[in-house]
Structure 1
Amino acid sequence: MKPANDPDAPAVGKANGCVPDFPDEALLAELEALRQMLAPVEKPACATEGDGLIIMRLCSGLTLPEWECLRNRRDLRDWLALPLSANPFPYLTRIQQTLEELVFLSEHDPLTKLYNRGAFERILGAELIRSARSGQSLALVLLDLDDFKLVNDTYGHPCGDRVLETIGALLAAEKRTYDYAARIGGEEFALILPGVGLMRAEGVIERLIESARSLRIVCDGVDTPLRVTISAGLACTKGKYPISLEKLYALADGALYTAKAQGKDRLFSAPIADLTAPPENTLVRADEKRFLFTGSTKG
């Protein structure tokens, strides 16, 4: 480990609980050697149900602040520590924080901090089930940045990232607490709006499109602030019939394609999904009911 007076060493000190001179190189070498030895077997397919080991190593005299310092400086976030005799609560709290961080990273886009594609599909599937059971409306909006490739080609990918971050922040700020915003592709975003019907959703998205138009995005090395627009495709269900994720997504995607074809910077709404769904198999036609009760099909 680099000495405390090394100008290239990470900025650490007692303010964050780190002790720069600790631990010694021998412990670091042992941890790194163990990491390399275990790397070939740290794969999901390597163990069947019931297999696996917890490997422990006693480090007498190592405190939690010292372990945190070592862990952060040497990227040992996948290693957990518990004391032998001291109060375990601070250690368990740190483990809980680590698990929460891992869950967040597994479900969120690292650039925009919105939900990622996997989390989006899981949430949409659950909301569609809830919509059908409760008979409540549900709106899905797909949004795409217009001519985003031109931004990357003209100003570079760092500027493109700044644009994506800005649009992500806009979605997070404009949505309700119980709505869901996701980045599901390169420049494609999505909103899931529970309990929102077609007309109300159209008002929400029109305001969002207008807010995007008013943005002025400043990029390093670019003299003039950038202006961006978004196109949106909207699909809704009233919750009258079960609608599959694939169908609602296809309706929203087709609507987005139409918005692009009509000139971009606009919203296009698909027909309400329930109106295009086949009748439920349990429904009995009126003439069939009449026959059952009267023996005649004539009104």
Structure 2
Amino acid sequence: MTPANSDGCSPDFPDEALAAELDELRQLLDGTDKPACAEEGEGLVIMRLCSGLTLQEWEGLGARRDLRDWMALPITANPFPYLTRIQQTLKELVFLSEHDPLTKLHNRGAFERILSAELIRSSRSGQPLALVLLDLDNFKTVNDTYGHPCGDRVLETMGALLAAEKRTYDYAARVGGEEFALILPGVGMVRAEGIVERLIESARTLRVVCDGVDTPLCVTLSAGIACTKGKVAIGWEKLYAMADEALYAAKAAGKDRVRCAPIADLTGTPEKTLVRADEKRFLFTGTTKG
């Protein structure tokens, strides 16, 4: 999209008229089959010249009409501010693709990708890693009693708490409706349990103020922890299932507490450094045959 012009687009050209024109063009392009040349790296740049439209005005128009997928560059002016804005837009889009819009924590897709990568790093380095699943207690009652806007306020507050309490190199995510997760690299079970106990205590002190609700709401958390010592490779699905089972145990025990799963390494395949069965047979019998 390029400000400048020759065809009647004057400085007082109505923003909404331009936006309507762009919307119509976008619909036409969306309904057009992708040409074969586009798959070979070729394409077409479509420009709409409009004099008098500043970068600030374009940003305002783009925000109102969701035009972030359109690019604006000047014909004769310094392009640097425009290129900087394009770069910022790309960063914002990347952030939105990996974060929950309500809590600003990582979303489920980013969580799965990060956990998988951290488990690979853990097994290669032999360092521990803990996964914590946290669930807001009685959250359905909040929505049913005070409405979803109040429920959103509770979720935002919990997201802010996790972001504030975690270490710089930990990862916090919202993985479901009222379910959150923490990935704690380099942390074993004992230390993870201490971290979560403090987090649960911090949650107990929260008082969430909702519009139209006279009394601030109290919040409690239930948590399940699963941990690997990094001695054997383990998939993120297994560690997640173990943490989820521990979370259900915390709920069943009365909520507002933490429960720990068995160490993942002790329930998986023995370490590769252990003597195999055929090696044992050779040591004791001199043969590898049964």
After superposition, the Cα gap between the structure-2 partners of 1:245 and 1:42, relative to the gap in structure 1 and judged at 3 Å, is: farther
The equivalent residue for 1:215 is 206
The equivalent residue for 1:197 is 188
After superposition, the Cα gap between the structure-2 partners of 1:127 and 1:49, relative to the gap in structure 1 and judged at 3 Å, is: farther
Q: Which moved more, 1:29-38 or 1:100-109?
A: 29-38
The equivalent residue for 1:78 is 69
1:126 aligns with 2:117: yes
Map 1:218-257; keep pairs closer than 5 Å.
Answer: 218-257=209-248
Deviations 1:79-100 (A, max 9, x none): 1112233222111100000000
User: Secondary structure in 1 aligned to 2:132?
Assistant: strand
Q: Distance in 2 between the 1:28 and 1:233 partners?
A: 50
Deviations 1:5-27 (A, max 9, x none): xxxxxxxxxxxxxxx95546653
The equivalent residue for 2:22 is 31
Map 1:144-163; keep pairs closer than 5 Å.
Answer: 144-163=135-154
After superposition, the Cα gap between the structure-2 partners of 1:266 and 1:62, relative to the gap in structure 1 and judged at 3 Å, is: same
After superposition, the Cα gap between the structure-2 partners of 1:286 and 1:177, relative to the gap in structure 1 and judged at 3 Å, is: same
Q: Indicate conservation of the 8 Å contact 2:133/2:223, yes or no.
A: yes
Deviations 1:11-48 (A, max 9, x none): xxxxxxxxx955466534422321221233599xxx75
Gaps of at least 5 residues in structure 1 are 1-19
The equivalent residue for 1:140 is 131
Distance apart, 1:221 and its partner CA: 1.0
Distance apart, 1:240 and its partner CA: 0.5
Counterpart amino acid of 2:110?
Answer: A
Deviations 1:62-115 (A, max 9, x none): 332332233234332221112233222111100000000001111111111111
Q: CA RMSD in A?
A: 2.5
Counterpart amino acid of 2:251?
Answer: K
- Out of 265, 274, 277, the residue aligned to residue 265 of structure 2 is 274
Q: Indicate conservation of the 8 Å contact 1:145/1:187, yes or no.
A: yes
Q: Distance in 1 between the 2:184 and 2:16 partners?
A: 54
Counterpart amino acid of 1:93?
Answer: T
Q: Indicate conservation of the 8 Å contact 1:239/1:274, yes or no.
A: yes
Q: Indicate conservation of the 8 Å contact 1:181/1:189, yes or no.
A: yes
Q: Which moved more, 1:33-42 or 1:146-155?
A: 33-42
Distance apart, 1:278 and its partner CA: 1.3
Q: Distance in 2 between the 1:266 and 1:48 partners?
A: 54
After superposition, the Cα gap between the structure-2 partners of 1:42 and 1:142, relative to the gap in structure 1 and judged at 3 Å, is: farther
Q: Indicate conservation of the 8 Å contact 2:231/2:271, yes or no.
A: no
- Out of 101, 123, 133, the residue aligned to residue 110 of structure 1 is 101
User: Secondary structure in 1 aligned to 2:50?
Assistant: coil
1:40 aligns with 2:14: no
Counterpart amino acid of 1:227?
Answer: C
Q: Indicate conservation of the 8 Å contact 1:233/1:255, yes or no.
A: yes
TM-score (ref. length: structure 1):
0.84
1:182 aligns with 2:173: yes
Gaps of at least 5 residues in structure 2 are 1-10
Deviations 1:39-58 (A, max 9, x none): 33599xxx756465432233
Q: Identity over aligned residues, as a percent?
A: 81
1:87 aligns with 2:72: no
Deviations 1:142-171 (A, max 9, x none): 000111101111111111111111111111
Distance apart, 1:176 and its partner CA: 0.4
Q: Which moved more, 1:280-289 or 1:56-65?
A: 280-289
TM-score (ref. length: structure 2):
0.86
Q: Distance in 2 between the 1:24 and 1:219 partners?
A: 37
Provide the aligned length of Structure 1 versus Structure 2.
275
After superposition, the Cα gap between the structure-2 partners of 1:52 and 1:282, relative to the gap in structure 1 and judged at 3 Å, is: farther
User: Secondary structure in 2 aligned to 1:189?
Assistant: strand
Distance apart, 1:295 and its partner CA: 3.1
Counterpart amino acid of 2:90?
Answer: L
Counterpart amino acid of 1:258?
Answer: A
User: Secondary structure in 1 aligned to 2:207?
Assistant: coil
